[in-house]
A and B are shown apart, each in its own frame.
Chain A
Amino acid sequence: MTNDLQLRIVIVDESPVRAAILSEGLKEAGYVNVLLMEGRHNLLERIYAIDPDVILIDLENPSRDVIEQMLHVSREVKRPVAMFVDQTDGQTIEQAIEAGVASYVVDGLRKDRVKPIVETTISRFRAFARLRAELEEAKSQLEERKVVDRAKGLLIKMKGITEEEAYSLLRRTAMNEKKRIVDIAQSIITAAELFK
């Protein structure tokens, strides 16, 4: 196990935040040789120089085809590199691709030694995607609140009711029509635009 923690791992990721999250995750798991690779310039030369055991790369990185050349041309490589997960491990490959990451390992490295690395990577990539989704959601919630506030303002003005009454009217209507409050609010704004 201690030997496994010495494995040289290279991360190639266009997103510095995600790369940092992954690197941190691997270090927490005890891996000590984790290197982030930035930029595209001379990528292969730099990878050869490091001579990694494992390469992790994000799927939206155009350098994937460059790295795959190492799978096909062995002349210049110190040790041949292969795609992780063999034919029998379709599930891991599927999970990794869906999470947005591909991994390459040196040929001959036993699967069970690499599996924890790939699993950490998948879970960190998913965590990053969740984080981004939450951020998006927070943003859209803020937008929605603005829409509801505008609709409330319109109701207060047109019906001469209080803010609380305006909100409960919106909520009641939404419940009766089985719609979201923001949708009701949006239709009030649209209607008000039409009646202008």
Chain B
Amino acid sequence: MKRLSMGFIPLTDAAVLIAAAERGFAMAEGIEIELHKEVSWANIRDKVNVGLLDGAHMLGPLAIASSLGLGHVRVPLVVPFALNLNGSAITLAKDIYAAMGETGADLSSAPAAAQALGQVVAARRARGEDPLTFAAVYSFSTHNYLIRHFLKAGGIDPDRDVRLVVIPPPFMAESLRNGLIHGFSVGSPWNSVAVDADVGRIAALGAEIFGWVPEKVLGVHARFANAEPEVLHRLVRALHAAAAWCEDPANHADLARLLSEPRHLSLPADVLRRTLDGRLNTAPGGALRAHPDYLVLHRDGANRPDPEHALWMYHQIVAAHQGEWAPDAAREAISVYRPDIFDAAVGATPPAPAHSPDCVATQFGPVFDPARFMETGE
């Protein structure tokens, strides 16, 4: 039995890794996964770097940024498996959401909600009030890029008109309550936690902004991938089987219970169940906001890492001024994603359906053009 130490952050999308460890999928591949609950993405990266962890539940953009050495020493990572797509939402403070409603906009539409927020920001500026502050969970995260896209759609410059800060997920609701921030972009279940505590309203689901966006991945050090390819294949197979199990709604009750355990997420099972099912309360006991693609754990080839997604994330890094554009770096970013390892491990899978208008199924606003980006950096 091969033992592997794997890190995770308590989020719903750690489901596939936790299920692989706890529901016999790793065992079936002759692997014992020892789960380590971590408190920060920085720890995940550093512990994988020095070998205290063999691999981890990791933000896709963190894997790209670490491999490029952005903001930190370079840590060459390999992504052979995508743990999920989508799964986040944007939650705003109650008073901000109420002010958006007063503009008369139809807040059930994400682009209309973004424009309403733009009016609220402009009105505050006209009154000479402090700019609003929004939080994401980490600088190199899809959540950060989601809220930037949303703000821009509302005519808001994310670098000038508002402040963007980083707050760890478990402190989001509290920070919203005490007025430190006015909204946040975070993965499940923390939006639902803020709604249930009646401190915020879900303004847009991530899937209403980007319909097919990379989120968490399995990240391992290149050293491990090179030294023990066969073990990595077994791990990928175990995760793939676990992902199919997690995706099946028949298993959601069991999965929600497993995730709710204190050693995992330590949160109420019914909240987790709603996020697995993609049915979110936008206000306490209020209207449900449902989306079939709210959180995708397996279907439609979601687990096969798509190199174009890697390039899209690098594009977001450049657009957010977190890194300079360079053709070499773009190629390096693409090479972090390893569909070849995935294919070698699980065999040929049916081709994933194509997404439009781009690889992340952008729902409104500028569309990603990989050829143009490789050519011009824009």
Pairing of A with B: yes
Q: Which residue of A lies closest to B159 (CB)?
A: A75
Binds A, one of B25-33, B40-48, B122-130, B213-221: B40-48
User: Contacts of B167 on A, CB cut-off 8 Å?
Assistant: 66
Does the CB pair A65–B166 fall under 8 Å? yes
Does the CB pair B52–A65 fall under 8 Å? no
Does the CB pair B168–A66 fall under 8 Å? yes
Does the CB pair A40–B171 fall under 8 Å? yes
User: Contacts of A68 on B, CB cut-off 8 Å?
Assistant: 42, 71-72, 138-139, 166
User: Contacts of A83 on B, CB cut-off 8 Å?
Assistant: 72-73
Question: Given the interface contacts A66-B166, A68-B139, does A85 sit within 8 Å of B171 by beta carbon?
Answer: no
Decide yes or no whether A47 CB sits under 8 A from chain B. Answer: no
Does the CB pair A64–B40 fall under 8 Å? yes
Decide yes or no whether B98 CB sits under 8 A from chain A. Answer: no
Does the CB pair A102–B46 fall under 8 Å? yes
Docked complex: A52-91 residues within 8 A CB-CB of B: 59-66, 68-69, 71-73, 75, 83, 85-87
Question: Given the interface contacts A68-B139, A71-B72, A87-B74, does A63 sit within 8 Å of B50 by beta carbon?
Answer: no
Q: What total of A-B pairs shows CB separation below 8 Å?
A: 72
Does the CB pair A72–B165 fall under 8 Å? no
Does the CB pair B165–A63 fall under 8 Å? no
In the bound assembly, the distance between CA atoms of A110 and B184 in angstroms comes to 37
Does the CB pair A94–B40 fall under 8 Å? no
Does the CB pair B52–A98 fall under 8 Å? yes
User: Contacts of A98 on B, CB cut-off 8 Å?
Assistant: 50, 52
User: Contacts of A85 on B, CB cut-off 8 Å?
Assistant: 73
Does the CB pair B171–A72 fall under 8 Å? no
Interface centre among B69, B140, B167 (most CB of A within 10 A): B167
User: Contacts of A59 on B, CB cut-off 8 Å?
Assistant: 43, 46
Interface residue range, chain A: 20 to 34
Decide yes or no whether A44 CB sits under 8 A from chain B. Answer: yes
Partner pick for B39 among A60, A69, A75, CB 8 A cutoff: A60
Question: Given the interface contacts A71-B72, A85-B73, does A65 sit within 8 Å of B47 by beta carbon?
Answer: no
Decide yes or no whether A170 CB sits under 8 A from chain B. Answer: no
In the bound assembly, the distance between CA atoms of A72 and B70 in angstroms comes to 8
Partner pick for B322 among A40, A65, A72, A93, CB 8 A cutoff: A72
In the bound assembly, the distance between CA atoms of A44 and B180 in angstroms comes to 12
Least Cβ distance of A188 to chain B in Å? 34
**Top 6 A-B pairs, shortest CB-CB distance:** A72-B139, A69-B166, A64-B40, A62-B168, A64-B42, A71-B71
24 A-B pairs with C-beta separation under 8 A: A59-B43, A60-B39, A60-B43, A61-B39, A62-B39, A62-B40, A62-B168, A62-B171, A64-B43, A65-B137, A66-B168, A68-B42, A68-B166, A69-B139, A71-B71, A71-B139, A72-B70, A72-B71, A83-B72, A86-B73, A87-B74, A93-B49, A93-B50, A97-B47
